Structure 1
C-alpha cells in the first residue's frame, strides 16, 4: 500500500522540541513502513532538516511551510497558499492522509491519483465542515467521540464516512518503573502540558494550596512551555501563577522534549493532574495517557474527550471544572486519592495495562485495516 501523509504548513517532522503531534505522525509512519507499506511524509521545511531523507524506511519530503500565528484569518490565508502550491507536488498513492484546511479540496478536485483522501480531525470543528470543501473526502478520522459529534453536527453527510481512532503513545518508552512502587510520605503531583489559562493551571495551584493548608505532605511539579510562541499563556499569566504559588512547594519546570526524560519525570511522580478547561480545545490529549502508561492515576476535569479512555473511579478521578466550587472539588479528589493510597496504587497498575492498548503498533493496525477497506 502506498501511503502519503501531509502534516500541513506548520509542523516539522520528526518533531523539533518535542511536539506531540509530530511524534505521533513519525511513530505511525514508521509502524506503517515496518509492516511493509511505502510511506511518504510531506511536511514543512525547517532549518537543520534536509529537504528529503529516508529514516526508518519512511521518506520525508520537506517543502515550504510557514510559522503559525495567533490570527486565525491570517493563518487561513497562509494555509490556502500552502494547499495551492502543495497539491501539484503530491505523489501518486493509494491513501492520502491530510491534516490541513484547504488541501483536501484541492487534492479531490485536481489530484485523484494522489489516493483516497483521509482527513485526520485532531481539533474540534469551528465551522469549516459547513463550507462544502470536503465532499471528495473518503474518510474522516476523529480522535474522540466529541470530535465525531462536532463534525456530524456541521456536516451530517460525513457520518457514514467517519471512524474514531485515538492518538497512540510510545509504550516502549512510556511504561511503569521496573522498581517496586513506593508509598512515599511526600506525594508529588505532576502536570505536563502547556502553561496556559485554558489548561486550568490556576485552579490546580489553588486546589494544591488547600492540601498544604490541611497539612498534607505534597509537592506540585508543573512541566511545560510558558512562552506564547510555544503555546503557553505568556509572561503575564505566568506572573499570576507565580504569585499564587508564593510560599508553596511548587516547582515550575521548562518543557521536556526528550521522550525518555519525560517518561522518567512521570515515573518520579505519584499523581497526575490535567485540569483542562478547554471545552472545545481538547481532542484526545496524550499527556494523561502517557501518565497512565507509567502507572500514574490521572485526576482530570470532566471534559467529554477524557471519557473515551478514562472511567471515573476506575481509571482515575474526574472533578467538576464547571462548578462554582471547582477548586474545592479538585482538592477533594486529591484528598480521596491520597487517603486511599492502596486503592490508588491498584488503579495505577490497572491503567498502566490499559494504556498498552494505545501503542503505535496497535493503533497503526486499526488505521491499516481501515485503509484496506477503503481501497477494496
Structure 2
C-alpha cells in the first residue's frame, strides 16, 4: 500500500516540541514501512528540518505550518488557510490518514490522494457533518466514538475504535525494585494547563503531606501557550500554591528516552484531568503503566478503555467540592498499601503491552485493507 499521513499545521514531525500525536504517528509510520508499505508523512515546515527527507524508511514532506494559539476561532482560520495550501499538493496514495480539522473536507476533492481515514483524536465540535466523503473514522476511544455517533448517527457504520499506541520498547519498568524506597515520588507528565487539574493535584498533595511526610510531587510539562500550556501566570499561581511543599516543577522533556527514564524514577503516576470534553484518550497514563507505574486518574470515560479500577489503576471522583480530598485519599491508599500497588503495577505493564506500535499497526492495516477491498 501507499500510505500518506497528514499531521496538521501545528507541531513538527519528528517531534521536537513535544506532542503525543506527532510522536505516535511517526512510530506507526515506521511500523508500516517496516512491513513493506510505502509511507510518507505530510507535516508542517519547521526550522532545522528539511523540506523533504527520509528517516527509517518514511518519507517526510514539509510545507506550511503555523503557531497554535489559545484562540479557537483564530486557530480554525489558520487551519483553513493551511488546508487550502496543502490539499492541491496531496500526492497519489491508497490511504490518506488525516489528523486535522479542515483537510478532510478538501482532500475529498482529490480522489487520487486515497481513501480518507480521519484520526479522531478529539471530541467532535460539529465538524463531522462536513466529512461526508471520509471512508473511516478511527476514534481513539469508545468515548470519542459515542460522541461522534451522537452528533452524527449516519456515520456510525464508518466509525472504528483504534486506540493510540505507545512505544513499549522505550517505555518499560525499572529493573530494580522500588519496594524499599522510603520517599515515594508522585509524577505528573503533561501540559501545565488548568484543564489538566494540576491545581487540584497540588491541593490534594497538601492534604497528603500532612499524613505522609516521605512523599514528593514531581510535575513535568510545558506551560507555554503555543505548546498547549496555560501560560506563565498559571505556572506562577501553582508555584505560589506549592510553596513550602515538597513539589518540584521541571521543564518539558521532549527526548522520548529521557521521558521514559523520568517515568521509571517515579513511584505513582497521577493524571487529574478535568477536561470532560477535551480528554479523548490519555497517552501519558498509558506510558506510565508501561513503565510499571500505577495511574491515579480522574473519573473520565476515556481512561476506562485501558484502566480497570483496583486492578491496573485507581480512579477518583473529580466532580464534587471534595475532589482534592478524594484524590488525596486515593493517593494515601495507594502508598500505604504498597504491596497491593506493586502487584497492580505488574498488571498495568501487561495491559499496556496491548497498545504497542505493533498491535495498533495491525488494527490500522487491517482496516486499510478492508477499505481498499470495498472500493475495488
What SS does the corresponding residue of 2:69 show, helix, strand or coil? coil
- Which runs of structure 2 are paired with 1:73-84 in the superposition (5 Å)? 73-84=73-84
Q: Which residue, out of 317, 320, 326, partners 1:320?
A: 317
TM-score, scaled relative to structure 1: 0.97
Does the CA-based 8 Å contact 2:221-2:251 persist in structure 1? Answer: yes
Partners of 1:146 and 1:220 lie apart in 2 by 30
- Which runs of structure 2 are paired with 1:327-338 in the superposition (5 Å)? 327-338=324-335
How far is 1:18 from its partner?
2.5
- Which runs of structure 2 are paired with 1:73-112 in the superposition (5 Å)? 73-108=73-108, 110-112=109-111
Residues 360 and 215 of structure 1: is their aligned pair in 2 closer, same or farther, counting only changes over 3 Å?
closer
Partner of 1:140: 137
Partner of 1:18: 18
Q: Which residue, out of 246, 250, 254, partners 2:247?
A: 250
How far is 1:17 from its partner?
2.4
Partners of 1:174 and 1:263 lie apart in 2 by 5
Partners of 1:360 and 1:146 lie apart in 2 by 21
Partner of 1:357: 354
Partners of 2:212 and 2:5 lie apart in 1 by 52
1:28 aligns with 2:28: yes
How far is 1:230 from its partner?
2.0
Which deviates more, 178-187 or 149-158?
178-187
Q: Return 5+ residue gaps in structure 1 as ranges.
A: none
What CA RMSD, in Å, does the superposition of the two structures yield over aligned residues? Answer: 1.1
How far is 1:85 from its partner?
2.2
Partners of 1:235 and 1:8 lie apart in 2 by 26
How far is 1:180 from its partner?
2.9
- Which runs of structure 2 are paired with 1:285-324 in the superposition (5 Å)? 285-324=282-321
What SS does the corresponding residue of 2:12 show, helix, strand or coil? coil
Partners of 1:71 and 1:180 lie apart in 2 by 46
Partner of 1:368: 365
Q: Return 5+ residue gaps in structure 2 as ranges.
A: none
Partner of 1:276: 273
How far is 1:227 from its partner?
2.0
Which deviates more, 293-302 or 76-85?
76-85
How far is 1:32 from its partner?
0.4
Q: Which residue, out of 197, 207, 212, partners 2:209?
A: 212
Does the CA-based 8 Å contact 2:69-2:225 persist in structure 1? Answer: no
Does the CA-based 8 Å contact 2:140-2:162 persist in structure 1? Answer: yes
Would you say how many aligned residue pairs link Structure 1 and Structure 2? Answer: 373
Instruction: Provide Cα deviations, 1:97-144, integer angstroms capped at 9, x if missing partner.
Output: 111222212121x211111110111111111123xx211110001001
How far is 1:361 from its partner?
1.1
Instruction: Provide Cα deviations, 1:289-314, integer angstroms capped at 9, x if missing partner.
Output: 01000100000100111011001111
